[in-house]
A and B are shown apart, each in its own frame.
Chain A
């Protein structure tokens, strides 16, 4: 198309060429935005300095001096505010990642269930969607947190399973695997299993293309990936042990702890976001022309094969863009954690650190930048995925 235009108007001035003009306007607009931002920030910092308020990012190297309930990396009170930032960021990513996974699974199931011919399943799905979509997420977080807390017993009266899994108002405690030297063989087995599965995948695809015969690839792959490392684990004499949680003093010690703040937040975020994903899934499936399903039916394909091989691949292109938005929303909503004290970025960094050092502008800028970057990364990944699933016109 562009080539055509160039040929049609060969002798216009440089600045009158619509293509050049578009670029020039964009550069001017961008420059104006930069200028405005620079002006606002500069003005702000001069004002702040005048009022005797500390500025700059030096505080990141200062000792934080406060404890954090849950950290994915080693942290203690003598670490710096920079470390606090990292701890908070990782906790944000943890709760977002967990919630995105569960929201997707629940959303997919409910979305498909909504279209089920079974009256009960479709109505229950509808009730689920309408209930959880229409209650503000903050209320849901508070509700789950308070329900979880209020209904659970104290550590001394924990609910327990086989004396190794405990559930009480301080969290869910499970045994923690402690790896020993020989465990490397298990990891090697796991890697080999993955490579084997990849090859198997290729082979079954080729066979399918050549002979049209199906191979139970999902089942076999799962068996290999789980089976091989397990076998090696037992052959090499079980080079790992479990660290069981045990009640000591006030609380349980040892094992892995899932704090109730994390459970409640992940629960609320997953359930809430799943309603939107379910609606996107439903819209996507309904967008596939009815004839496609009828044609597949006429070929005598089974229902789940129709869903898997005919409907979903076409529905995905409609589903993915709104789902990207939901992932972004979920990540941003995780900052509501501050209401229940889950130690993510906004709670520990834009909360406690901010109050200790009082440098609101720097801290808020850093926090905003984090959410901006997370959003951009998620949308880049999903756009790539979207491009892959788009109809390929040949």
Chain B
């Protein structure tokens, strides 16, 4: 038996060697010619197909921005549409290179799953959607309510904490996708639908009569939604993180997808550094020196992305709130490029 064991261990070591040797995600991505990015299965504002079948949303743009930084072409992305249960396994197993799927940054996820959160592209919080005819105006009046939840989310845990803290009871109904959740709400299986507030606004627009439901004022949790990469590839992690930071800095410097070419002539040294006219910041990342220029040119700055997907230029019309830049009173803060 000892012999068998050592033989099998030897074989195991061989296979391990084969899998670990390719830990350079940037190289792999460049070689394959596209970025493989995990998205939601459909959530208005974050990732959902438009009328012509093209996927749009703030998370889609997070993928496209990284593709633009690497390839100077935002269309070089292959999307994987994952439900909440599948997302981490897909990233761990290497099926995707990054995850941009309205995923809450929590301690467990950041430390025990072999994953690292790269950036927060949306600061969210959990809220409640309720039918107007029930006549409830505050989450504090929800004792005994039946609640529709989407499976495998931090939402379930926050909900428990909130009801416990307020000494209330509830009945949970857990569905697999947000489409089922909203259907359960619409057919009256549950009194309340709980999810991140941004999702509630998006889901509300898919109701047959959006005006029949409203979002309660209470926000019961912190939900920093971010992009995630595998642990142990710092180079790749930095590319995904700095792509987000670049979009924040562009908004702060007033660079948009429309004026980025004119900005190339700007005498402002910060803008010159940002656009790769001076310095080698792109090369330090292992990318083209015009990486930031490409992101803004093809995808836009953070404000543009926010406004067109979830903000004032979208059907959702969500206030920017916490997601304003730090200088406008929000908490989106891009580290300086210098």
Q: A residues bordering B, Cβ < 8 Å?
A: 31, 35, 38-39, 42-43, 46-48, 50-54, 65-69, 77, 146, 149-150, 154, 169-170, 248-251, 253, 260-261, 338-341, 343, 347-348, 351-352, 354-358, 360
Contact = CB atoms under 8 A, between A and B. Distances in A.
Interface residues of B, number: 52
Contact of A51 (B92, B146, B174, B176): B92
B113 A47 contact: no
B151 A249 contact: no
Nearest to B92: A53
B171 A69 contact: yes
A149 B173 CA distance: 14
B322 interface: no
B8 A251 contact: no
B11 interface: yes
B112 A54 contact: yes
Interface string B151-170: 11100110111001000001
Given A77-B164, A339-B180, A358-B109, A352 B151 contact: yes
Contacts of B89: 360
Given A42-B12, A66-B157, A260-B189, A354 B112 contact: no
A91 to B, nearest CB: 12
B157 A341 contact: no
Contacts of B114: 48, 51-53
B117 to A, nearest CB: 14
A340 B251 CA distance: 44
B180 A341 contact: yes
B188 interface: yes
Contact of B187 (A35, A77, A149): A149
Interface in B74-125: 84-85, 88-89, 92, 108-109, 112-114
B145 interface: yes
B54 interface: no
Nearest to A339: B176
A343 B174 contact: yes
Contacts of B175: 340-341
A149 B145 contact: no
A356 B152 CA distance: 7
A42 B12 CA distance: 7
B335 interface: no
B112 A358 contact: yes
Contacts of A67: 156, 159-160, 170-172
